[in-house]
A and B are shown apart, each in its own frame.
Chain A
Amino acid sequence: MSELTQKVSGQPIVVDQAVGPWKEAWRSFKKSKSALAGTFIVVFFVLLAIVGPLFVPQAINEQNFSMRLQAPSSQFWFGTDDFGRDIFSRIVHGARLSLTVGFFAVIFSAVIGSFLGIISGYYGKWIDTIISRFFDIMLAFPSILLAIAVVSILGPSLQNALIAIAIINVPNFGRLIRSKVLSVKQEEYVMAARAIGMSDARILWRHILPNSMIPVIVQGTLSIATAIIEAAALGFLGLGAEAPQPEWGKMLADSRQYLMTAPWTLIFPGLAIMLTVLGFNLMGDGLRDALDPKMKS
Chain B
Amino acid sequence: MLNYIGKRVLQLIPVLLGMSFIVFLIIRAIPGNPAQVILGQKATQESIAALEEKLGLNNPWYVQYFDYLKGLFTGDLGESLRTSQPISSEIWPYLAATIELAVFAMIIAIIVGVNAGIISAWFQNSWFDYVAMVIALIGVSMPIFWLGLIEQWVFSLNLDWLPTSGREDVRNPISPITNFYLIDTLIQGRFDQFGIVIKHLILPGVALATIPTAIIARMTRSSMLEVMRSDYVRTARAKGQKMFLVVYKHALKNALIPVLTVIGLQTGLLLGGAILTETIFSWPGIGRYIYEAIGYRDYTVIQSGILVVAFIFVMINLIVDLLYTVIDKRIKYS
Among residues of B, the one whose C-beta sits closest to the C-beta of A225 is: B141
**A148 and B149 contacting across the interface, CB-CB below 8 Å:** no
**A152 and B302 contacting across the interface, CB-CB below 8 Å:** yes
Within 8 Å by CB of A270, from B146, B219, B269, B314, lies B146
Interface residues on B, range: 35 or more
Among residues of A, the one whose C-beta sits closest to the C-beta of B133 is: A34
Binds B, one of A7-15, A22-30, A276-284: A276-284
Within 8 Å by CB of B310, from A133, A141, A273, lies A141
| Chain A interface residue count, Cβ-Cβ cutoff 8 angstroms | 43
Known pairs A256-B149, A273-B146, A274-B138; A136 contacts B26 (CB<8 A): no
Among residues of B, the one whose C-beta sits closest to the C-beta of A261 is: B157
A134 within 8 A of B: yes
A201 within 8 A of B: no
B72 within 8 A of A: no
How long is the Cα–Cα vector from A236 to B148 in the complex, in angstroms? 12
Known pairs A133-B18, A237-B291; A259 contacts B309 (CB<8 A): no
Query: Which residues of chain B come closer than 8 Å to A195, judged between CB atoms?
Result: none
**A278 and B138 contacting across the interface, CB-CB below 8 Å:** yes
Known pairs A141-B310, A236-B145, A239-B294; A259 contacts B152 (CB<8 A): yes
Chain A's nearest CB lies how many Å from the CB of B219? Answer: 8
Query: Which residues of chain A come closer than 8 Å to B290, judged between CB atoms?
Result: 145, 148
Known pairs A142-B310, A252-B145, A278-B137; A260 contacts B157 (CB<8 A): yes
**A137 and B276 contacting across the interface, CB-CB below 8 Å:** no
Query: Which residues of chain B come closer than 8 Å to A137, judged between CB atoms?
Result: 14-15, 18-19, 22
Chain B's nearest CB lies how many Å from the CB of A166? Answer: 16
A245 within 8 A of B: no
Chain A's nearest CB lies how many Å from the CB of B22? Answer: 7
B66 within 8 A of A: no
**B276 and A277 contacting across the interface, CB-CB below 8 Å:** no
| Partner-A contacts on B (CB < 8 A) | 14-15, 18-19, 22-23, 26, 29-31, 137-138, 140-143, 145-146, 149-150, 152-153, 157, 219, 222, 258, 268-269, 271-273, 275-276, 279-280, 290-291, 294, 299, 302, 306, 309-310, 313-314
Known pairs A229-B143, A259-B157; A145 contacts B258 (CB<8 A): no
Q: List 10 A-B contacts (CB under 8 A).
A: A137-B18, A137-B19, A141-B310, A141-B313, A142-B313, A144-B273, A146-B306, A149-B26, A233-B143, A249-B143
Known: A152-B294, A255-B149; 12 extra A-B contacts, CB below 8 A, are A137-B22, A140-B310, A142-B268, A142-B309, A146-B306, A148-B291, A149-B306, A152-B302, A237-B276, A249-B143, A249-B145, A274-B146
**Chain A interface mostly:** helix
Query: Which residues of chain B come closer than 8 Å to A17, judged between CB atoms?
Result: none
A266 within 8 A of B: yes
**Chain B interface mostly:** helix
**A153 and B29 contacting across the interface, CB-CB below 8 Å:** yes
Query: Which residues of chain A come closer than 8 Å to B313, judged between CB atoms?
Result: 140-142
A213 within 8 A of B: no
Within 8 Å by CB of A148, from B23, B152, B273, B275, lies B275
How long is the Cα–Cα vector from A7 to B324 in the complex, in angstroms? 50
Known pairs A133-B14, A252-B146; A152 contacts B26 (CB<8 A): yes
Chain B's nearest CB lies how many Å from the CB of A127? Answer: 16
Closest 6 CB pairs of A and B: A142-B272, A270-B146, A137-B18, A278-B141, A277-B141, A144-B272
Residue-wise interface mask of A (253-278) relative to B, using a CB-CB cutoff of 8 A (1 in contact, 0 not): 00110011001001101100110011
How long is the Cα–Cα vector from A255 to B280 in the complex, in angstroms? 12
Within 8 Å by CB of B30, from A153, A270, A282, lies A153
How long is the Cα–Cα vector from A153 to B273 in the complex, in angstroms? 21
**B302 and A149 contacting across the interface, CB-CB below 8 Å:** yes
Query: Which residues of chain A come closer than 8 Å to B143, judged between CB atoms?
Result: 229, 232-233, 236, 249, 252, 270, 273-274, 277
**B309 and A145 contacting across the interface, CB-CB below 8 Å:** yes
Among residues of A, the one whose C-beta sits closest to the C-beta of B138 is: A278
Within 8 Å by CB of A143, from B146, B152, B219, B272, lies B272
Query: Which residues of chain A come closer than 8 Å to B30, judged between CB atoms?
Result: 153
Query: Which residues of chain B come closer than 8 Å to A239, judged between CB atoms?
Result: 294
A198 within 8 A of B: no
Most chain B Cβ neighbours within 10 Å, of A145, A236, A263, A277 = A145
Query: Which residues of chain B come closer than 8 Å to A270, judged between CB atoms?
Result: 143, 146, 149-150
How long is the Cα–Cα vector from A222 to B238 in the complex, in angstroms? 42
A50 within 8 A of B: no
**B275 and A140 contacting across the interface, CB-CB below 8 Å:** no
Chain A's nearest CB lies how many Å from the CB of B67? Answer: 20
Query: Which residues of chain B come closer than 8 Å to A146, judged between CB atoms?
Result: 306
